[in-house]
Chain A
Amino acid sequence: MSVTNNDTFDVLAPWQLSTHVSLRDEAFGALAYHHDTRRLVFLKSRELVALVRELSAFESAHVALQSLVPVDQYDRYVAALKTLSSSEILSARE
Chain B
Amino acid sequence: MPANSSLRDRFERGLAAPICLTWELTYACNLACTHCLSSSGRRDPMELTTDEAKALIDEIASMQIFYINIGGGEPMIRRDFFELIEHAVSRKVGVKFSTNGTRIDEEAAKRLATIDYLDIQISIDGVDAETSDRIRGAGSYDAARRAMDNLRAANFGQFKISVVMTRESVEQLDEFEALARHYGAELRLTRLRPSGRGVDVWEDLHPTLEQNRRLYRWLLDRPNVLTGDSFFHLSALGQSLEGLNLCGAGRVVCLIDPVGEVYACPFVIHDEFKAGNVREGGFGSVWTNSELFRSLREPGSAGACSSCGSYDACRGGCMAAKFFTGLELTDPDPECVFGHGETALKAKRLTLRPSSSPDHSRRIPVSISSR
Interface residues of A, Cβ cutoff 8 Å to B: 22, 24-28, 31, 33, 35, 38, 40-42, 44
CA distance A68 to B92 in the complex (A): 30
| Given A33-B67, A35-B117, A28:B94 Cβ within 8 A | no
Nearest-CB residue, chain B, relative to A40: B19
Does A42 lie within 8 Å of B66, measured CB to CB? no
The verdict on B16 contacting chain A, using a C-beta distance below 8 Å, is yes
Task: Determine if B1 and A41 form an interchain contact, defined as CB atoms under 8 angstroms apart.
Answer: yes
A26 partner residues in chain B, CB cutoff 8 A:
10, 15-16
Residues of chain B with a CB closer than 8 A to A38's CB: 67, 94, 119
Question: B310 in the interface, Cβ–Cβ < 8 Å?
Answer: no
- Given contacts A41-B1, A42-B3, are A22 and B19 in contact (CB under 8 A)? no
- The number of chain B residues touching the other chain, given as a range, is 10 to 19
Majority secondary structure of chain B interface residues (helix, strand, loop or mixed): loop
Pair B1/A22 contact, Cβ less than 8 Å:
no
**B61 nearest in chain A by CB position:** A22
Interface centre among B10, B66, B92, B119 (most CB of A within 10 A): B66
Closest CB of chain A to B243's CB: distance in Å?
Answer: 11
B67 contacts which chain A residues (CB < 8 A)? 33, 38
Determine whether the beta carbon of B17 is less than 8 Å from that of A24: yes
Query: Given A22-B66, A24-B64, A42 and B19 touching (CB < 8 A)?
Result: no
How far does the Cβ of A26 sit from chain B's closest Cβ, in whole Å?
Answer: 6
- B7: CB under 8 A from chain A? yes
Q: Are B7 and A42 in contact (CB under 8 A)?
A: yes
- Please judge, given known A-B contacts A22-B66, A22-B92, whether A28 and B117 are in contact too, CB under 8 Å: no
List the A residue with the shortest CB-CB distance to B66: A33
Which 8 pairs from chain A and chain B are nearest by CB?
A33-B66, A24-B64, A28-B10, A26-B16, A22-B66, A26-B15, A35-B117, A22-B64
What residues of A have a CB within 8 angstroms of the CB of B7 in the complex? 28, 42, 44
